[in-house]
Amino acid sequence: MLTIVTLNWMRPSNTIRNIHQYASYSLVSNVLCFNNGPPLSMPAGIPPKCVLIQASTNLGVYTRFAAASLARTDAVFHTDDDIVVPESTLEILFQAWRAAPNSCHGLFGRAVRPVYQRPTIFGPVEVLLTRAVVCSRRVNNYALSMTPLFEDLRSVPHGNGEDIILSFAAMASSRSLNFAHRLEYRDYEDEATHAIHRNWPHHYEHRQKVVDRCRQVFQI
């Protein structure tokens, strides 16, 4: 079984749809949603599999690690509110994780040598975006424990680059690369509206700093 971990900030309708869809998957044990935005209005109610964690202010993206630390399954699927994946994609990622549980398995790979690069790549990769990635709860918690070493790298939102930290924590645990799979997914039409890279001009400069710090911290 697997736990879905998702964040909400400015796309409540997407989040609500995703919560209900993921809760319907037989593979999913629980859906943990950390809401950094206004309280979610859910007329149909919260599915029994879902736990909604409401913050009174935006605590940033490290909240995905904090929420995942509460999972009761070994496998965690981190995902965002601008994308939805079918059950078949989740099944393939889960089986890939079972074969290599210390690695991350996702949909959006990034090349970060010699510098951070924007295009999505597939196959063995160093970095995977947390838009859609399966990892172990242990690797998640390892990444969470290392976040104090990045506090001086101020960012918008707080914790920007957490996917890089998670990816490097996995590589430090597995001593191998992570893996980006070319699988089916669907972007929501508004997926770019509140994207971090469109709203903070220093986004990619900051991500390079996180990569450089990860190489120091994890010795990779």
CA angle 177, 141, 162 (to 5 degrees): 65
Is the model more confident about 156 or about 28?
A: 28
Per residue in 144-161, pLDDT (tens digit) is 999 999 999 987 889 899
Q: Which amino acid is at 48?
A: P
Identity (one letter) of the amino acid at 188?
Answer: Y
Q: What is the tens place of the pLDDT at every residue in 77-95?
A: 999 999 999 999 999 999 9
Which residue, among 126, 130, 110, 107, has the nearest Cα to 118 in the 3D structure? 110
Per-residue pLDDT of 52-62, as tens digits, reads 999 999 999 99
* H/E element, 16: helix 12-23
Q: Domain segments of the chain: what residues?
A: 2-218
Average pLDDT, the chain: 93
Q: What Å distances lie between residue 134 and 11, 73, 160, CA to CA?
A: 22, 12, 19
CATH number of 2-218: 3.90.550.10
Which residue in 14, 10, 16 sits closest to 37, CA to CA? Answer: 10
Of 211, 125, 120, residue with least CA distance to 165: 211
3-state secondary structure (DSSP) of residue 11: coil
**Residue 150 DSSP symbol:** G
Residues 187-209: tens digit of each pLDDT: 998 645 545 555 556 789 999 99
